[in-house]
Structures are given as C-alpha cells and as structure tokens.
Amino acid sequence: MKASMSSKGNYLDNACIESFFSHFKTECFYRYRFPTPMEVRKAVEWYITFYNHKRFQKKLINLTPIEFSSKAA
C-alpha cells in the first residue's frame, strides 16, 4: 500500500476531509472532556452519525450529506 499525499502543507488536495475534521474538532472534541477511551469512541461514532444524518450543510443546499447523496442518485 502506498500513501497518497501531496507536498507538505497543501491543504487544498484534501479540502473536504480538512473541513470535516475542522468541524469535528470544534463541535465535538473542544467542547467536552472524555474520561475514558471508550467515551472518545462513543463520541466519534455519535458525531459521524450526526454529521451524515442530521447536520445540514450550506454547500449541499441545506441538506445533510445522506439527503444530498440520495437526491443525486
């Protein structure tokens, strides 16, 4: 397996995932303290579900990613 990465500091190559992690850290990790690794795991699972199914996104015409992809299909 070979990693696919651009030159150092070229964030535009992964803009969508950089955006996700920015929201993820701001809306999940910076707001709460997690006493155990299991709590971190639960928070990650919850946030990914929330992000895909409930959190509307302006760039997706105010739809959730799941709604947007089902309309595109």
Q: Taking CA 42 as the corner, what is the angle to CA 41 and CA 47, rounded to the nearest 5 degrees? A: 100
Long-range contacts of 37-41 (CB under 8 A, 24+ apart): none
pTM: 0.70
Confidence of residue 4 (pLDDT cuts 50, 70, 90): low
Residue 32 structure tokens: 């709460």
Residue 11 structure tokens: 């964030």
Measured in whole angstroms, the distance separating CA 58 from the mean position of its chain's CA atoms is: 14
pLDDT tens column, 45-69: 999 999 889 988 888 888 888 998 8
pLDDT tens column, 6-48: 666 666 777 778 888 999 999 988 998 999 999 999 999 999 9
